[in-house]
Amino acid sequence: MKERYQAKAIEEKWQRIWAEGRSFHVREDVTRPKYYVLEMFPYPSGRIHMGHVRNYSIGDVVARYKRMRGFNVLHPMGWDAFGLPAENAAIERGVHPQAWTEENIVYMKTQLKRMGLSYDWDREVATCQPEYYRWNQWIFLQFFKKGLAYKKNSFVNWCPSCETVLANEQVVDGACWRCDSAVVQKELEQWFFRITDYAEELLSDLDKLEGWPDKVLIMQRNWIGKSTGAEIDFPLVGHEGALRIFTTRPDTIFGATFVSLAVEHPLAQTLARGTPQQQAVEDFIARIRKISQARRDEEETEKEGVFTGAYCRNPFTGENIPIYLANFVLMEYGTGAVMAVPAHDQRDFEFAKKYRLPIRLVIQPAGHDLTTETLSEAYVDEGVMVESGAFSGLPNTEGKEKIAAFAESKGWGKREIRYRLRDWGVSRQRYWGTPIPIIYCDGCGTVPVPEAQLPVELPKDVPFTGKGGSPLRESKLFSQVACPKCGGAARRETDTMDTFVDSSWYFLRYTSARLPTAPFDVDHAQYWMAVDQYIGGVEHAVLHLLYARFFTKALRDLGLAKVDEPFTNLLTQGMVSKETYRCEDHGWLFPGDLVGSEKEGWRCAECGRPVTIGRVEKMSKSKRNIIDPEDLIGRYGADTARLFTLFAAPPEKDLEWSDQGVEGAYRFLSRLWRLIYQQRNLWAQVPPANGATEQSAELRDLRRTIHRTIKKVSDDIDGRFHFNTAIAAIMELFNGLSAAAQGDSQSRAATDVIKEGTETIIILLAPFVPHIANELWELLGHDDRLDQVSWPTYSEVAIEEEKLLIVVQVNGKVRGKITVPADVTQEYIETNALADPRVIGFIDGKSVRRVVYVPRRLVNVVVEG
């Protein structure tokens, strides 16, 4: 054992002990309260980055803390292992996606183990393994049986030059990421999950999620996008039938001066046929259909349209109004047809101005006198209905319901609730994903793969060219199959599932990760679920969390999961950021590519030019403002890396990288090590203080600080995760103890309090810096392992503020008594003594010559006369 803190040796030792002892393996135990803490599992991209270090350090503190609190803690880890980068590596470098992925998992697992994270590795899952994805297929089949999985036509991004479907993230500014050709929309038949069946429950259950950040709840609400309104028919003029529109503002129907259709609306082309507008309409449809719906829906997208040459009748005004096609109306939402009310809808307003369409004001705000001539933007707020026939004079909020009811009574339409949420398209024309377990037979149609034949495994004989449609189609072995029903020649579905399917139920799989007969054991899942604390990036605030919630509810309805919601509490950690460096000639520079110093200024190592220090931004490969955790851990150790990331900012806030911060964390651990190493022989001779023996006031103060620190650190960790202030309190206590230990009062009494304090610090630090804490515990001669030590409780007596009774004399005679807190200054006591009403009577009008203070006992005021 060395006097100098040696992180590497200590960390390797404890990581070996934990691994060999399977220290964090858990089983269900009904005698103890359970706690399930989970960090979002990583994509095995190759190496961990600082964002991972932060995410997993936070989770590990929670896991270790809860264990010390007596909980039976489930803390698993796995790999979200299907996805595009593996397939790209195959196309670009000829490595098989499986080999690439497995290699990355091995490497990253080693990195995670070097961080000392307390995972139950026996429960590790990788979604690309057939043992896992067979249950994706099984769940798909259950969904199919219940009508929750179905097929329909839908648009995909298509690169005409690469002849391939592109994921949204492969479309950069409307062009193919690989060849830069313009991306078009292509219609394909694809599989969907009917998540919209759960829209109302997904929305209303958000109210139960009190442990989620408000911003995430808001994002989920907006994504589901419930709107209450009406569907109303606008009869066509000169054609059979009517246009059915959906509106959330029936109260403005008297102001509808035209109708806008989506270019995909079934009537879009037929209405223009034979009119002078036919050619213009066909050109417009062809042009707009190439643009993705998401892009058309963006606020910045310029509103444009074309007149169809046709009219319909506003049933409330009886007027004939023109029908336009508009780029911002989407078929996916509502009916693909909207009544346009330019005075009260901003998009319609811009559109009307551009195409010189009439604007009619029908809602007047109280106390105002808006006119269409002076209107510079749409008025979208509340007011009183005007120019609205029998409905004029009503508050518009009432009008909404009245107009909808009137339309319903006339048979013109009905009240309607709509959601922005669409069904979840799960088909991907990719190789590296879960094969969809469906077979197509000319005789029998769509046939599900029998459950006994699962898993449908990914074939190996697939060339990765990056061209064409689904790569699985290239494998004859895979696609040609006998029909399970009639035995005739049939073909397999060659699309694979969206990788979000994999992550929608992995938290359930962890509860019985090795079970070969079902996706998870119902009883085990019931014991562990819901996840008590989920931790991950806010970029997953919408899709992943929504899909996981949907799966949980759908699996509940299949009788498998027993909870309504998967994640009771959610923490979204902030980003890790750092300043950027740029050389005029060499562009963005890595921190390691600088020479010089902060004082002299930094220069480019390549050319010697001074570098421009840029803003503090999220660490990213493109800006090169990254720190490799491997370098950090190699240089200072995992405990320093953990302590720095936990101390530098509260978990939900952004963390700014600081070299000084890292060095500060390392210095603190080194000082702690040195003090205990030096004092250990002295301390071996005494038991830690327990408050039983009489102590001096100074030592009572020190004990009070120790117990107040226990209380503060417990409060800060529990529920609030204020790790930074908890660590600050521990550091402060250490400074106090260190000063006391190095002072001259090395009496037995002082030693026992200092020992109590130091052992407390080791226990309080155990969740944050587990390696050094365990080592120091052992160094102090404890037979038990720190991992098995309970979290300390504070002594109510010790934290109670001590009071002193001070006798106040005037010229040697007792004239009063005051009570003061023990830790106040002499000045405070003297001022209070002189201000005591009984004392004032004896000194009033006389001049005070001096004040004598006998510490903790007496103040004597000497006055003239």
Q: Which is nearer to Zn ion, 106 or 482 (CB)?
A: 482
Q: Does 585 bind Zn ion (CB under 5 A)?
A: yes
Report the nearest approach of Zn ion to the CB of residue 585 (Å). Answer: 4
Return the CA Rg of the chain.
36
Among 12, 106, 161, 523, binds Zn ion (CB under 5 A): 161
- CA–CA separation, 843 and 863 (whole Å): 7
Among 33, 443, 450, 610, binds Zn ion (CB under 5 A): 443
Report the nearest approach of Zn ion to the CB of residue 483 (Å). Answer: 3
Per CB under 5 A, the segment of 17-25, 277-285, 437-445, 629-637 that binds Zn ion is 437-445
CA atoms within 13 A on the CB side of 503: 23
Q: Does 556 bind Zn ion (CB under 5 A)?
A: no
Check: CB of residue 490 under 8 Å from CB of residue 440.
Answer: yes
* Cα distances (Å, whole numbers) of residue 89 to 100, 432, 612: 8, 11, 34
CA atoms within 13 A on the CB side of 834: 18
Among 607, 684, 739, 797, binds Zn ion (CB under 5 A): 607
Report the nearest approach of Zn ion to the CB of residue 121 (Å). Answer: 41
- What is the number of other CB atoms lying within 10 angstroms of the CB of residue 836? 18
Task: List residues bridging with 480 in a β-sheet.
Answer: 491
Report the nearest approach of Zn ion to the CB of residue 624 (Å). Answer: 13
232 three-class SS = strand
Long-range Cβ contact pairs of 822-828 (< 8 A, separation 24 or more): 822/697, 822/700, 822/701, 822/856, 823/701, 826/853, 826/855
Among 7, 89, 176, 259, binds Zn ion (CB under 5 A): 176
**One-character DSSP codes across 50-99:** HHHHHHHHHHHHHHHHHHHTT-EEE----B---SHHHHHHHHHH---HHH
Among 195, 337, 472, 583, binds Zn ion (CB under 5 A): 583
Per CB under 5 A, the segment of 46-54, 171-179, 523-531, 684-692 that binds Zn ion is 171-179
Report the nearest approach of Zn ion to the CB of residue 612 (Å). Answer: 11
Report the nearest approach of Zn ion to the CB of residue 605 (Å). Answer: 8
* Cα distances (Å, whole numbers) of residue 835 to 11, 818, 838: 59, 10, 9
Report the nearest approach of Zn ion to the CB of residue 456 (Å). Answer: 17
Per CB under 5 A, the segment of 157-165, 314-322, 560-568, 725-733 that binds Zn ion is 157-165
Q: Does 586 bind Zn ion (CB under 5 A)?
A: yes
Task: Please give the structure tokens belonging to residue 40.
Answer: 């979002």
- CA–CA separation, 328 and 240 (whole Å): 26
Among 1, 99, 106, 179, binds Zn ion (CB under 5 A): 179
**One-character DSSP codes across 470-492:** -GGGG-HHHHEEE-TTT-SEEEE
Q: Does 483 bind Zn ion (CB under 5 A)?
A: yes
DSSP code of residue 182: B
Q: List, in order, residues 6 or more apart from 513 with CB less than 8 Å away.
A: 76, 78, 122, 123, 124, 125
Among 103, 122, 606, 800, binds Zn ion (CB under 5 A): 606
Q: Which is nearer to Zn ion, 489 or 824 (CB)?
A: 489
Per CB under 5 A, the segment of 93-101, 433-441, 730-738, 833-841 that binds Zn ion is 433-441
Q: Does 159 bind Zn ion (CB under 5 A)?
A: yes
Report the nearest approach of Zn ion to the CB of residue 490 (Å). Answer: 6
Per CB under 5 A, the segment of 156-164, 302-310, 591-599, 710-718 that binds Zn ion is 156-164
- CA–CA separation, 228 and 214 (whole Å): 23
- What is the number of other CB atoms lying within 10 angstroms of the CB of residue 441? 19
Among 167, 219, 375, 444, binds Zn ion (CB under 5 A): 444
The C-alpha angle 652, 509, 537, rounded to 5 degrees, equals 15
Q: Which is nearer to Zn ion, 168 or 517 (CB)?
A: 168
Q: Does 438 bind Zn ion (CB under 5 A)?
A: no
Report the nearest approach of Zn ion to the CB of residue 451 (Å). Answer: 18
Handedness of CA 331, 335, 340, 343 (dihedral sign): negative
Q: Which is nearer to Zn ion, 165 or 689 (CB)?
A: 165
SS3 helix, strand, coil % of the chain, rounded to 5? Answer: 40, 20, 40
Q: Does 696 bind Zn ion (CB under 5 A)?
A: no
Q: Does 156 bind Zn ion (CB under 5 A)?
A: no
Report the nearest approach of Zn ion to the CB of residue 177 (Å). Answer: 8
Q: Which is nearer to Zn ion, 178 or 353 (CB)?
A: 178
Report the nearest approach of Zn ion to the CB of residue 8 (Å). Answer: 34
Report the nearest approach of Zn ion to the CB of residue 782 (Å). Answer: 55
Which chain residues interact with Zn ion by CB under 5 A? Answer: 159, 161-162, 176, 178-179, 181, 441, 443-444, 483, 485-486, 488, 583, 585-586, 604, 606-607
